[in-house]
Structure 1
Amino acid sequence: MPDFPIIDTHLHIWDMDRLKYSAFEGHPLFGKSYQIEDYQRDCGDVEVEAMVFVECFADFTETGGQYIDEIKFVEDSARRDPRIKGIVPMAPLEWGSRVLPMLSEMNANHSSVKGIRRIMEFDDDPRGLTLSPDFIEGVNLLHEFGWHFEINVNFTQMDIIREFVQHIPNVPMILDHCGKPGIREGALAQFRDDIRDLATHPNMWIKLSDLPPYADPANWTDKDLRPYIDATIETFGFGRTIYAGDWPICLQATSLPRWVETLDNALVGASEKELRAFYRDNANTFYRLGL
């Protein structure tokens, strides 16, 4: 384990009695509430200085959603654990300029908001959504608030993202979970090519998180993940790569302590400065946590 407290930039918590999450209903692992106290228990020996909450795909429609309600739930959780220093909610950026009043409300009333995630991966038409003029306009509006955009797709959709980022010159962006690479499919060459292209954009960062589910969730080994970890560090360097746990989604394949141990093994030989950048300092900078 790192010999200093780390920052976890991808915490999920949800309350099924307070909000509606149809995507999780009936799921054997995720079909129940996960509260901040559950996270505290599952950290084990991992010492966490601060966390950033990332939205949990709470139900929404073409005309509205639980966007502000989810922020308020997380704010209540942060009163029980003040280590929650940042919130990345969902917002309907596909509304284009019509989303501006909602973003302005978030900015005015919820100071912990650091950026926005609008998942493209599960949309009926990921390409049509991501490359639509209104969506691109909505993402570019984040620049007005000093916020970033969080990208969530899988490896079969990375061609969309390679085109999308060309339209977002000024908003910082981060690729969640390394773009969910095709580890099980052996798509290492594609992964290297995709992230090499993304890394040419100076406003693009990458989140090294939750790779085990994309290998064999039940039988993955460090050896399965190592080429993807190595490629990430080689391409983005320790300057633009950020640690995250993705709890409780990670529980389908690993625990938080085992994930950190896997990264520790892969990063043997890194300097103290590089490790601190990866596990803590980059997160503090990118998410503007002021720690």
Structure 2
Amino acid sequence: MPEFPIVDTHVHLTNLNRIRYTNLQDEAPTLHKSVGLATFQNHAQSIDIDSFLFMEIVCDFDNRSDEAQWATELAREDPRLKGIIACALMENGSEVTVELEAYKQNPLIKGVRRLLQTEAIDFCVQPSFLKGLRCLPAFDYSFDICVYHQHLSHVVEMVRACPNVHFILDHIGKPKIKDQLFEPWKADIRSLAELSNVHCKISGMVTEADHDTWNRDDLRPYFDHVIECFSFDRVIFGGDWFISTLATTYAEWVATVDWAVSGCSTSELKKLYCDNARDFYGLNSPDNKDLQSSTL
């Protein structure tokens, strides 16, 4: 395990009493349940977590500001919750600025995500979507990219079209690890890494493998390729909890990542586990004690 506190940039929590998750109910009914802060704290208790980010989890679009507000309330319960990645409808083009301006009133919101994996592969390069993305730098927001591997060639096009936007690829682009698929994923990752405005999140890999029979060797070539392409300067750790519970425990995922990077320098490990996350998401401020009145 890491010999220093880590930053987890990808924690999902749900509250069915306040927020609707129709997509989750339809696509992954076993995950359609309330999963709160106490459950996460229990599952992650063996890991020294310095801070973590709340990641939106595809709630119904008309609930997206409610989700961000609930996450803000959770930060008052656990000061380690240092940031929120909220849902924003980038396809609204320049009109998304109304939503971003509202989010900007909440200093906990560090970036946005619009789930793309369930959309057409060219959804992310539609003119209105690109126009929305180009609004992000004015708000100092990054964009988390969540796609399946078949979307990646268009993701490269999207990132190239928005050179001033800071992107991060979630779950290494979701290659089909269960089938040991490498191409065209490997080539697309290489092309994406050539663009300096994108990082890669080492997360969500076990759920792309066989949930019941995966082993670390199944993941090794994917770890190696991502780190080779992005280097330790542009990779960031993510737990993807509680989605990850489909295939592993929180501690086992951290141990698996630690195994994959064994032998690397302390400096490299700190980049992966904490330093890059703090820089990319701006986690060094604000202090959560100043957030008691944050609302949306």
What range is the shorter-chain TM-score in? over 0.9
Q: How does 1:141-156 map to 2 (within 5 A)?
A: 141-156=135-150
Q: Aligned partners of 1:248 and 1:223: how far apart in 2?
A: 23
2:23 counterpart residue number? 23
Deviation digits for residues 19-63 of structure 1 (CA, Å, limit 9, x no counterpart): 000123375531210111110000131111000111110012xxx
Q: Aligned partners of 1:20 and 1:205: how far apart in 2?
A: 31
146-155 or 178-187: bigger deviation: 178-187
On the 8 A contact 2:192/2:198 being kept in 1, the answer is yes
1:102 counterpart residue number? 99
Q: Aligned partners of 2:88 and 2:118: how far apart in 1?
A: 15
26-35 or 84-93: bigger deviation: 26-35
Could you list the runs of 5+ residues in structure 1 that have no partner in the other structure? none
2:240 counterpart residue number? 246
Q: Aligned partners of 2:48 and 2:244: how far apart in 1?
A: 17
Deviation digits for residues 214-263 of structure 1 (CA, Å, limit 9, x no counterpart): 11111100000000001111111110000000000000011111011111
2:289 counterpart residue number? none
Q: How does 1:269-288 map to 2 (within 5 A)?
A: 269-288=263-282
Q: In the alignment, residue 187 of structure 1 is paired with which amino acid?
A: L
Of residues 77, 80, 84 in structure 1, which corresponds to 2:77?
A: 80
Offset at residue 131 of structure 1 (A): 1.2
Of residues 254, 257, 271 in structure 2, which corresponds to 1:260?
A: 254
2:115 counterpart residue number? 119
Q: Aligned partners of 1:31 and 1:116: how far apart in 2?
A: 22
Residue 174 of structure 1 aligns to a residue whose secondary structure is strand
Could you list the runs of 5+ residues in structure 2 that have no partner in the other structure? 286-296
1:9 counterpart residue number? 9
2:167 counterpart residue number? 173
Q: In the alignment, residue 134 of structure 2 is paired with which amino acid?
A: N
Offset at residue 96 of structure 1 (A): 0.5
What TM-score do the two structures reach when normalised by structure 2? Answer: 0.93
- RMSD in angstroms over aligned alpha carbons? 1.2
Of residues 194, 202, 207 in structure 2, which corresponds to 1:200?
A: 194
Q: In the alignment, residue 2 of structure 1 is paired with which amino acid?
A: P
Deviation digits for residues 104-125 of structure 1 (CA, Å, limit 9, x no counterpart): 1111x211111110011112x3
On the 8 A contact 2:113/2:143 being kept in 1, the answer is yes
State percent identity of aligned pairs: 37
Q: Aligned partners of 2:42 and 2:54: how far apart in 1?
A: 17
Q: Aligned partners of 2:25 and 2:202: how far apart in 1?
A: 28
2:283 counterpart residue number? 289
Paired positions, count: 284
What TM-score do the two structures reach when normalised by structure 1? Answer: 0.95
